[in-house]
Amino acid sequence: MPGFPSPFGSDGDDLFDGYDEFVADDLPRPGAFLDGHDVLTGADHLAFHRLTRDCFEERGVYDMTFDYNLARLNLDTRHGDAGFRYAVERGDAADAVDGSEVDGDAADGIDRVLRAEFTPTTAFCPQTHTLTVGAFRAWNGLADRHEYDLVRVRAAPTHNQSEAVNDRLAELEEAYLGMGDAETAVDEDVGIGANPV
């Protein structure tokens, strides 16, 4: 007996762009966290996003609503305004990471920083906190796979709890810079593992 098609977890190839296609119309617009920084486009975006797919697969960063690796959200044509955008942080920005201001060995040698902004599919996505923390852990826990000393993660302001989520991500980032271990920073920071509100 044939089943009913799912509006969420379909594997139909016609619903997804390829990992080797940069389709700007199927990606969220870069938001405030990326403003004033060097937004990745074309081959640069594609290269980092393929790496993201592998990191997320290894660390189990999955969107439970759609039942797929979170990196696939960028390719889902049904949600063209959701997913990740990336930018190389400019060191002269007012809010750039300055390793000298953070206590801890990991803060030494922070030269190349990538910013990643996550736009969820809805303003009330209950997984936004979990997904952004998972992404932070994957990128920074597997830092030997890419050229960045730190990947900073924030939720887009379109999410109804973005301020609280981003406050927690900033705390996690600071803990990581102090400890040098993305997993320990999450585990030892009491409020980080739970939803912020």
pLDDT of residue 186: 61
101-128 per-position pLDDT tens digit = 555 555 556 889 999 999 999 999 999 9
**pLDDT of 10 strictly over 50:** no
pLDDT digits (tens, 9 = 90+) for 144-176: 999 999 999 999 999 999 999 999 999 999 999
How many C-beta atoms surround the C-beta of residue 74 within 10 A?
24
Answer yes or no: is pLDDT of 42 > 60. Answer: yes
Mean per-residue pLDDT over the chain, rounded: 86
Residue 193: its pLDDT value, please? 41
- Give 16's DSSP letter: B
pLDDT at 185: 64
Sheet of strand 38-39, all strands in order from the earlier edge strand to the far edge: 38-39, 83-88, 113-119, 150-155
Q: Are strands 150-155 and 113-119 parallel, antiparallel or unpaired?
A: parallel
Residue 151: strand pairing partners? 114
109 vs 99: CA distance, rounded Å: 7
Question: The tokens of 38 are what?
Answer: 């060097």
pLDDT(11) > 90: no
Decide if 21 contacts 74 (C-beta within 8 A). Answer: no
